[in-house]
A and B are shown apart, each in its own frame.
Chain A
Amino acid sequence: MFRKIRHIIEKEFKQIFRNKTMVGLIFGMPVLQLFILSYAADFEVKNINIFIQDNDKSPTSTELIQKISSSDYFDIKDVDTYKNGLSLVEKNKADVILSIPQDFGKKINTGNKTTIAITLDAINGSKAGVTQNYLQNIILQFSKEKLNEKIKIDVIPGIDLINRNWYNPTLDYKVFMVPGILVLLITMISLFLSSMNIVREKEVGTIEQLNVTPIKKGEFIIGKLLPFVVLGIAEFTIGLLIATLWFHTPIEGSLLLLYIFTIVYLTLILGMGMFISTFTDTQQQAMFIAWFFSVIFILMSGLFTPIESMPDWAQIVSDFNPIKYYVDVMRLVMLKGSSFANVSYQFIIIVIYSIVLNALAVLNYRKTSG
């Protein structure tokens, strides 16, 4: 039995490494994607274009404008009295309009209440939210200072909040994103390669020859799966090296735990690919189905948007999303140093999921047509 499996593994490896273009794609593409995505997938909002409609033109209003321009986040597009700036928003040249009323300086200096209007381009909701927060902070800070000047005391009673970000102290998004993107790459490469594998034998016609041989279904699937597990681990190792050496992503937890979890996860994804392979007839069909699932899994994995902010039904769907668990574990073990006990829940789910998918693949692979 093992001899037969060994022969299949040997054949698969020969076929993979003989196709030079594929080898380039398998190892080159993920590395490139890791760099591009890690640098691009940054949730910090910077370079916000702001238009300021200054109807006051007083020293106070100028002071506020200076405060805004000295922050890293805003690019002041224009300051004008009469133009309302709406046309700039329409042309996509401004993201936010700040309108300062005519008697702004006078009211502040006499200790009266005044209002400032913020008009946001909310096409990108999350960006608009972040912009509003930044701007509010600046304005609150400004009004607090003005108040202090007015009453001439240094200490105002109240609570000052001090934030500390644990596990990612500098709030570097790359530290947070790299483990997740590593998951994405391993998932896509493994799913695509395995889903197209048995189908390819169907397309070329060699499957018929294999079906008349006494090879058992289980032997066949294991022989097909193992080379891709090895490939996936190699892929993971390269990714991990880049993550630590280039991005300085910490690995707080056990490296062994990461590898064990990755191997189990790979059997799950490969089982899914093999299953797709058994019910499709062409590589094109397999490719589309693999693409369909990877897009849904990736977008609903909590990789780019937190699962907690999804609607209830989507949160239930995401419970069936294997990527979610792997992203969780990678982040927990790498950034937080979680031990096996902390991730045993995810581990059990992945194991069960893997057994089910591989069983489906074996059952659905027919040596006889009926």
Chain B
Amino acid sequence: MNKVIEVENLTRAYGDFKAVDNISFDVKKGEIFGFLGANGAGKTTAMKMLTGILEPTSGKGKVAGFDIKTQRNQLKYKIGYMSQKFSLYEDLTLKENVKFYGGIYGLDNKTIVERTNLMIERLGLENIEDTLISEIPLGWKQKIAFSVATIHQPEIVFLDEPTSGVDPITRRQFWDLIYQATEEGITVFVTTHYMDEAEYCDRISMMVQGRIEAMGTLEELLTKHNAKDMNEVFLKLAR
């Protein structure tokens, strides 16, 4: 299997403090890679370096075959990103948001219309396609944000805490969307601090204070740390 993310000794320091401390890992094509850790463990910092919006202090990384330091612009066509902070324009409608983001990825109008219709049909959003985002409930917004982040059909989509603050049912639905994306061959890199969401991932890495303390499939981690769920693994590692 080919690797779509390769990271070697990646570090990001702010003065003496190392937000990300010498991490190395690979992600295979089509995988759901869970990036777990407590708040402030360095997940977002790592993700920002991988998406080319933060300069690494040292180390190397390649995403979709492009260097995260020197080939940022090519890299950006290949990735989608959904930030922790809600990133749709509240004063634009659903359709207008999709059109804008599709447009700045260079899609032509015909493609934008096709993909918008497909997305509206898939998510069952016919009633709210011309509604302002500000009037749409949070759970819906997050699904829309995910679809907007993948409108240009990227190779990899980075999701930063996509499910924080939504109810369990919406979370479940959101993960269905993620599965759908992987079926289309999109690799998913997702950070979360909900340990139970680890079950949904093919592989998990556990970050504690800037370092990757454990990595593997769910079973591997449970056996290795002799735990019954990820919460226990987390508590053992974080101690």
Name the segment of A12-20, A145-153, A335-343 touching the other chain: A12-20
- Least CB distance, A343 to chain B, in whole angstroms: 39
- Least CB distance, A125 to chain B, in whole angstroms: 50
> Is B116 part of the contact surface with A, judged by Cβ < 8 Å?
no
Q: How far is the CA of A367 from the CA of B75 in the complex (A)?
A: 14
Smallest CB gap from A220: residue in B: B104
> Is A156 part of the contact surface with B, judged by Cβ < 8 Å?
no
Residues of B within 8 A of A213 (CB): 76, 101, 104-105
* A7-B99 CB under 8 A given contacts A211-B53, A212-B53, A213-B76: yes
Smallest CB gap from A15: residue in B: B91
- Least CB distance, A24 to chain B, in whole angstroms: 16
Q: How far is the CA of A117 from the CA of B99 in the complex (A)?
A: 78
* A369-B106 CB under 8 A given contacts A7-B100, A208-B87, A213-B101: no
B52-94 residues at the A interface, CB under 8 angstroms: 52-55, 72-73, 76-77, 79, 81, 83, 85-92
* A14-B85 CB under 8 A given contacts A368-B54, A368-B55: no
- Least CB distance, B69 to chain A, in whole angstroms: 10
Instruction: Report whether A214 and B85 are in contact in the complex, using a CB–CB cutoff of 8 Å.
Output: no
Instruction: Report whether A209 and B81 are in contact in the complex, using a CB–CB cutoff of 8 Å.
Output: yes
Q: How far is the CA of A7 from the CA of B105 in the complex (A)?
A: 10
Partner of A11, one of B87, B100, B106: B100
Residues of A within 8 A of B55 (CB): 368-370
Instruction: Report whether A206 and B104 are in contact in the complex, using a CB–CB cutoff of 8 Å.
Output: no
Smallest CB gap from B109: residue in A: A3
Partner of A205, one of B81, B87, B106, B108: B87
Residues of A within 8 A of B85 (CB): 204-205, 208
* A212-B104 CB under 8 A given contacts A11-B89, A15-B91, A370-B55: no
- Least CB distance, B198 to chain A, in whole angstroms: 25
> Is B103 part of the contact surface with A, judged by Cβ < 8 Å?
yes
- Least CB distance, B26 to chain A, in whole angstroms: 21
> Is A67 part of the contact surface with B, judged by Cβ < 8 Å?
no
Q: How far is the CA of A369 from the CA of B105 in the complex (A)?
A: 21
Q: How far is the CA of A160 from the CA of B54 in the complex (A)?
A: 78
Instruction: Report whether A14 and B54 are in contact in the complex, using a CB–CB cutoff of 8 Å.
Output: no
Instruction: Report whether A4 and B89 are in contact in the complex, using a CB–CB cutoff of 8 Å.
Output: no
Give the total of A residues in contact with B, Cβ under 8 Å: 27
Instruction: Report whether B53 and A208 are in contact in the complex, using a CB–CB cutoff of 8 Å.
Output: yes
Instruction: Report whether A18 and B103 are in contact in the complex, using a CB–CB cutoff of 8 Å.
Output: no
- Least CB distance, A341 to chain B, in whole angstroms: 43
Residues of A within 8 A of B229 (CB): none
> Is A6 part of the contact surface with B, judged by Cβ < 8 Å?
yes
Instruction: Report whether B72 and A368 are in contact in the complex, using a CB–CB cutoff of 8 Å.
Output: yes
> Is B129 part of the contact surface with A, judged by Cβ < 8 Å?
no
Residues of A within 8 A of B147 (CB): none
Residues of A within 8 A of B91 (CB): 14-15, 18-19
> Is A118 part of the contact surface with B, judged by Cβ < 8 Å?
no
Q: Which of B86, B100, B105 has the most CB of A within 10 A?
A: B100
Instruction: Report whether B53 and A15 are in contact in the complex, using a CB–CB cutoff of 8 Å.
Output: no
Q: How far is the CA of A207 from the CA of B130 in the complex (A)?
A: 23
Q: How far is the CA of A353 from the CA of B103 in the complex (A)?
A: 32
Instruction: Report whether B83 and A205 are in contact in the complex, using a CB–CB cutoff of 8 Å.
Output: yes
1/0 contact string of A198-230 vs chain B (CB within 8 Å):
000000111011111111100000000000000
1/0 contact string of A1-37 vs chain B (CB within 8 Å):
0011011101100110011000000000000000000
Smallest CB gap from A1: residue in B: B106
Residues of A within 8 A of B76 (CB): 212-214
Instruction: Report whether A4 and B103 are in contact in the complex, using a CB–CB cutoff of 8 Å.
Output: yes
Q: How far is the CA of A11 from the CA of B73 in the complex (A)?
A: 23
- Least CB distance, A193 to chain B, in whole angstroms: 15
Q: How far is the CA of A208 from the CA of B145 in the complex (A)?
A: 13
Q: How far is the CA of A214 from the CA of B92 in the complex (A)?
A: 21
The 9 closest A-B pairs by CB, nearest first: A7-B103, A205-B85, A209-B87, A214-B76, A212-B81, A370-B55, A11-B100, A211-B53, A208-B83
Chain A interface (Cβ < 8 Å from any Cβ of B): 3-4, 6-8, 10-11, 14-15, 18-19, 204-206, 208-216, 367-370
